[in-house]
Structure 1
Amino acid sequence: MSDERPEQLTTTEARAGATPHVTRYVLGVGLALVIVLFAIIYLFAAT
């Protein structure tokens, strides 16, 4: 058996790239559009 310890990586090194927060904006805009779309469908279906 080897007494060598496995290499330890920091969080940034393990991630190996930038982490932009674009996903939260895409999810927020998509949710808002779905709510608006359902509201429009409800208003026109009720008449």
Structure 2
Amino acid sequence: MHVVDDHVEVTETEASSGIKGQGVRYVLAISLLLAVIILSAIWIVPALLNQ
């Protein structure tokens, strides 16, 4: 990492030094699926009970 004029330049390795795991992808997918299921149940169950 070094300063050039008024900004800092980093190498590709330094810029991507965070965790590159797949955990976030799975958490997002599972939470989206659960949200769809729960919201669908909230909408469908009362509609079925009011018939």
The answer to whether the superposition gives a TM-score over 0.5 is yes
Query: Which has the larger strand fraction?
Result: 2
* Runs of 5+ unmatched residues, structure 2: none
* Runs of 5+ unmatched residues, structure 1: none
CA drift of 1:40 comes to 1.1
4+ residue runs over 6 A deviation: none
Identical pairs, percent: 30
1:30-41 correspondence runs (5 A): 30-41=31-42
One-letter code aligned to 1:34 = A
Instruction: Report the TM-score, using the length of structure 2 for normalisation.
Output: 0.57
Using CA pairs under 8 Å that are at least 6 residues apart, name the structure with larger relative contact order, 1 or 2: 2
Q: Which string of whole-angstrom CA distances, capped at 9 and with x for unpartnered residues, describes residues 1-47 of structure 1? A: xxxx7485322223334321211111110000000001111121112
One-letter code aligned to 2:23 = V
Instruction: Report the TM-score, using the length of structure 1 for normalisation.
Output: 0.60
What do you get for the CA RMSD once the two structures are aligned? 2.3
2:27 is paired with a residue whose SS is: helix
